[in-house]
Amino acid sequence: MGINWDYANLDAVDALGIFRDYEGEHGEDPGWARSVIDRIYAEKASDTTSHKDDTSSNFDRDNYDADELAVWDWYAETYVGMDQSAWDDVKKDRVDEIMDDIDTLKPGEYHDFTDEGSSWKPPVTTEFTGDVSGNNEMVVNTEAIQHLINQFATIAVGEHKGLLLDLATELDGKMIKPGGFARAEILRQKIDGTGEGNPGIRGDTIGLLRTLHRALFDLQAGLQVMKTEYEKTEEDNEVTQAKLQELLKDAWSEIGALNKYGTVGGSTEA
């Protein structure tokens, strides 16, 4: 579920970078303020009479030091129950700051810019140049089958080696760092995901690449057995359709699994 921007709440305040500014002003580590407030909310939640956004101190203040109590009191007094017009002003002011930052942005201020290129190189494929003449009979050309296997092998070299797996590994090591403001955090979550059940666009693409690799590898294996079966028989058409389906069932299974990919949305609308 996305962040609710309609009123002042913990997720929205955090996403706007307000906690980050507080931490910078008070010499605290990134993420410290949210962690403290989450701990207090967790303690308050144990009291069934309390509400998550209630400013009452129905938690043991002795469990927290002065700095932790200060950030809680600041957040509760400033943002909990903030009226709508004041919240709208906060959002507008933060957007204006973001636009000012964009106007003066230099590489390295928000991003880890890199000019290292991808290791990806397109595979070298060739056209079949063997005998394709026909005599109006259905004839299996085992040479053509081997050529097709060789083309697949330029992409899926082995069960655990190949271009698509290399790309998946490379993509797995790339982390997007778009910035610390709200819209950027939404973008990061869309791309990197938020955990189990939400792989994000990056995780979805990695899954697609790995599934494609398995499909191409299984196609090679099935076609190789089919080619051998044809070569052993006296009749070119000895391998039946049922046998062909059996030989390629793993490949068809992987190909069928591809339809679960490509459904992750990329909108950054809150």
- DSSP labels, 175-201: -----SSHHHHHHHHHHH--BTTB-HH
Show which of 41, 75, 103 is a domain's final residue.
Answer: 103
Closest CA relative to residue 101, chosen from 157, 44, 17, 225: 17
Hey, what are 28's tokens? 């605290």
Within a domain: 202: yes
Both 96 and 146 in one domain: the answer is no
What pLDDT is stored for residue 204 in this prediction? Answer: 85
**How many other CB atoms sit within 10 Å of the CB of residue 126?**
9
- pLDDT tens for 132-188 read 555 545 456 778 888 888 998 988 888 888 888 988 888 887 777 766 666 677 777
- pLDDT tens for 65-105 read 999 999 999 999 999 999 999 998 988 887 666 555 544 44
Within a domain: 198: yes
Which domain covers residue 189, as residue numbers? 142-260
**Cα–Cα distance, 34 to 56 (Å, whole number):** 18
The pTM (predicted TM-score) of the whole model is: 0.48
118 secondary structure, DSSP code: P
Within a domain: 60: yes
Q: Work out how many domains the chain is built from and give that number.
A: 2
